[in-house]
Structure 1
Amino acid sequence: MALEIERKFLVSGDFKSHAYHHEQITQGYLSSAPDRSVRVRIKGDKAYLTIKGISNASGISRYEWEKEIAIEEAKELMHLCEPGAIDKIRYYIECGKHTFEVDEFRGENQGLVVAEIELEDEKESFIHPDWLGKEVTGDNRYYNASLVKCPFTKW
């Protein structure tokens, strides 16, 4: 297993003009238990099965295992997922030596835009672009597994 070190932020302002690529993402959860989640994701023309563990006390680090699977398999697994799905467009924005992944949610999470940045170390510094808003790292409401159960539009 690999350790995922990631921080999350709300987004305000123009970020799309900075993106070098974007793609559609649809995902569902085979399990969204608080201590582990098992996700099926279709991202562009690829698909993945991902298992994530519980976050550490800071909310920044957690274990993640991911494997690419055939799109046909992912579509079949989607039928086994818990009710609800995540539908979003992901924008990729280079900023210094890092890449922000900015998710613009659709459907029941319409209006929510969240930026994530993966780091090598929890204390690693990075550039904060002007469209980067309030940090929500560790706030479980912003985890995709939580947004399936309690969508942003129902807050």
Structure 2
Amino acid sequence: MIEIERKFLVKSNDYKSEARSKTRIVQGFLNTDPSRTVRVRIKGDTGFITVKGKSNASGTSRFEWEKEISVMEAESLLKLCEKGILDKYRYEIVIGNHVFEVDEFFGDNTGLTIAEVELKNEHEEFEKPNWLGVEVTGEVKYYNSQLSKNAFCAW
């Protein structure tokens, strides 16, 4: 239940030709307190509710609990969410032994593309594809919960 990931900006669209899947995600937040965010998500044809704890000092690790719910339940919960529903496409790309999740944002976050890679430990090595840009792990403004409140277009 501890999520370990690193986050990067994406500097080109080359990842699209390498993607094994592309899924639309719509998500909102019932709570954006950094100590405990509560997210509601519709990913493709499945709903989820997720609770995340506060990140460690480096921003790479934090508690995460997720439960699958019906799309109807997720749609109902999205109506209760704080202002700022996120809409994005997620691409999954296998690079070496890792899967990168690349999120291409729309709406008020159009122009922002972020890649995440989950790791087994904070110091695990991984192959970096040529489209991977600057690392933004631990930079709070790139958290989805913050993008819902302070969109990329306002930067």
Please give the range of the TM-score, normalised by the shorter of the 2 chains.
over 0.9
TM-score (norm: length of structure 1): 0.98
Q: Which residue of 1 aligns with 2:17?
A: 17
Q: Which residue of 2 aligns with 1:107?
A: 107
Q: Which residue of 1 aligns with 2:30?
A: 30
Q: Give the match's secondary structure for 2:141.
A: helix
Distance 2:84 2:58 in 1: 28
Structure 2 letter corresponding to 1:35: S
Q: Which residue of 1 aligns with 2:138?
A: 138
Distance 1:130 1:72 in 2: 39
Which consecutive residues of structure 2, in runs of 5 or more, have no partner in the other structure?
none
- The C-alpha deviation readout for 1:81-116, integer Å capped at 9, x for no partner, is 001111000000000010000000000000000000
- The C-alpha deviation readout for 1:42-86, integer Å capped at 9, x for no partner, is 000101000000000010000000000011000000111001111
Map residues 47-126 of structure 1 onto 2, 5 A cutoff: 47-126=47-126
Structure 2 letter corresponding to 1:10: L
Distance 1:15 1:101 in 2: 10
Which consecutive residues of structure 1, in runs of 5 or more, have no partner in the other structure?
none
Identity of aligned residues (%): 57
Alpha carbon RMSD of aligned pairs, Å?
0.4
Q: Which residue of 2 aligns with 1:46?
A: 46
Q: Give the match's secondary structure for 1:149.
A: coil
Distance 1:78 1:89 in 2: 18
Deviation at 1:8, TM superposition (A): 0.2
